Amino acid sequence: MVEAEKRWHALYVRPRAEKKVAAELVDLGYVVYLPLITVVRQWSDRRKKVMEPLFKSYLFVLSEERDYYPIRSVYGVVKFVRFEGKVADVPENQIFAIKKFVREYEGTDSLKDSADLQEGQMVRITTGGLKGLEGHLVSFNGKKRVLIHIESVGQYLPIDIARSKVEPI
């Protein structure tokens, strides 16, 4: 009998339950990846750095088909992300790219205005943890950003990145 190979899968979980679900899955013996980034939150009386999920309501779990029901039964798990009716595999290289991005997170480094780039244009990241990923150049509140689509999760990842690290496609 051939043993099934474990693969990364994306889980959609209840809002603001990512950390609790991840901890519960780890307690059950699963390998879980919840990408967290540090952001500054402003309250009326103070500012504070907090760790937030990179993808709201999503986390990744290394599992095989026989694990689907036990994982799905954990409180807070809504569903496995599916594509064409099947649980979608998240390629290892996308998990690796997300991990590198989190390590090298540059929340304040914006694209410099440049004549060779226009809103809506496809660009490729040329250096750093996300090298090789492609996305559309968009504008938020006057700042230029690269918007990358992570296909298997069905999410867009807005990234502020130095102009020197992207090239037009």
Per-residue pLDDT tens digits of the chain, which is 169 residues long? 455 789 999 999 999 999 999 999 999 999 999 999 887 778 888 888 888 898 889 999 999 999 999 999 999 999 999 988 899 999 998 898 888 888 876 544 444 445 567 777 888 888 777 778 777 777 654 555 666 666 556 677 777 676 667 788 8
Distance between CA 107 and CA 49 in Å, rounded? 13
What's the pTM value of the predicted model, to 2 decimals? 0.66
Phi and psi angles of residue 84, each rounded to the nearest 5 degrees, phi first:
55, 40
CATH number for region 7-90: 3.30.70.940
| Token duo for residue 63 | 């599992």
Rounded to whole angstroms, what are the CA distances from 120 to 105, 117, 134, 135, 168? 23, 9, 12, 9, 11
Looking at residue 22, what is its pLDDT? 97
Question: Domain segments of the chain: what residues?
Answer: 7-90, 122-168
Distance between CA 140 and CA 57 in Å, rounded? 22
Of 13, 3, 19, the closest CA to residue 71 belongs to 13
* Cα atoms found within 13 Å of the Cα of residue 113, Cβ hemisphere only: 2
Looking at residue 102, what is its pLDDT? 83
Are 111 and 142 spatial neighbours (Cβ–Cβ below 8 Å)? Answer: no
Name the residue type at position 75.
Answer: Y
Coil/strand/helix, residue 81: coil
Q: Which fold has domain 122-168?
A: SH3 type barrels. (2.30.30)
